[in-house]
């Protein structure tokens, strides 16, 4: 008997690109200090955004939420929303991503090895531009077949019940 085939990975489009505090990096060159409070204490915020057909999904709403979240933990994002939106658009072009995922991250920044946030002089801002595959293709197809079967069964049940009667 032939060995079962394994699903092939979806072809990657574009290249992982990272913007970190004003400088563009690759996956291999981007680094954050080991004293960054985002790394040490999880002291920061992030927002994940999808890209569909090269278009960023609801960028303004996502950035509003990012800035509101940062403000809620007393982090002032060191750039305007317009500037971060421009960097985001530029990153999509640089990474050549048509279908993908963006991760905006703002941390408290680099400080001392202690919890006092006043030791952090400036927040760290980074944006990751990458592709994402949430489900293997075969699992995605199976899920949709199952959902279709449930919908057909529910429609059949609704047609069988007496008018106004319980299911």
**For 52-77, what is each residue's pLDDT tens digit?**
999 999 999 999 999 999 999 999 99
Biggest alpha carbon distance in the chain? 71
Give the global pTM.
0.74
DSSP characters over 29-89: T----TTBHHHHH--EEEEEEEEETTEETTHHHHHHHHHHHHHHTT---SS-HHHHHHHHH
Evaluated on CA atoms 35, 80, 70, 101, the torsion sign reads: negative
Task: Judge whether residue 167 has pLDDT over 90.
Answer: no
Give dist(CA 36, CA 112) in Å, integer.
Answer: 9
Judge contact between 108 and 117, C-beta under 8 A: yes
Percent of residues, the chain, with pLDDT higher than 90: 69
Q: Which residue has the higher pLDDT, 148 or 90?
A: 90
Task: Judge whether residue 78 has pLDDT over 80.
Answer: yes
Coil, strand or helix at 100: strand
Q: What is the pLDDT, as a whole number, of residue 39? A: 96
The mean of the pLDDT values for the chain is 87
């Amino acid at each position: 008997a032939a060995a079962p085939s394994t699903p092939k990975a979806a072809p990657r489009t574009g290249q992982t690109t990272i913007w970190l505090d004003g400088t563009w990096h690759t996956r291999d060159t981007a680094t954050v200090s080991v004293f960054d409070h985002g790394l040490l204490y999880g002291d920061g915020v992030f927002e994940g955004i999808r890209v569909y057909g090269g278009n960023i999904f609801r960028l303004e709403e996502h950035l509003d939420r990012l800035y509101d979240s940062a403000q809620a933990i007393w982090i002032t994002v060191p750039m305007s929303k317009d500037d971060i939106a421009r960097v985001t658009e530029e990153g999509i072009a640089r990474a050549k991503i048509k279908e993908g995922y963006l991760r905006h991250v703002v941390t408290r920044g680099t400080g001392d090895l202690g919890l006092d946030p006043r030791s952090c002089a400036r927040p760290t801002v980074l944006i990751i531009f990458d592709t994402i595959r949430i489900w293997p293709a075969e699992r995605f197809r199976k899920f949709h077949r199952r959902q279709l079967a449930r919908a057909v069964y529910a429609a059949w049940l609704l047609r069988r019940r007496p008018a106004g009667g319980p299911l």
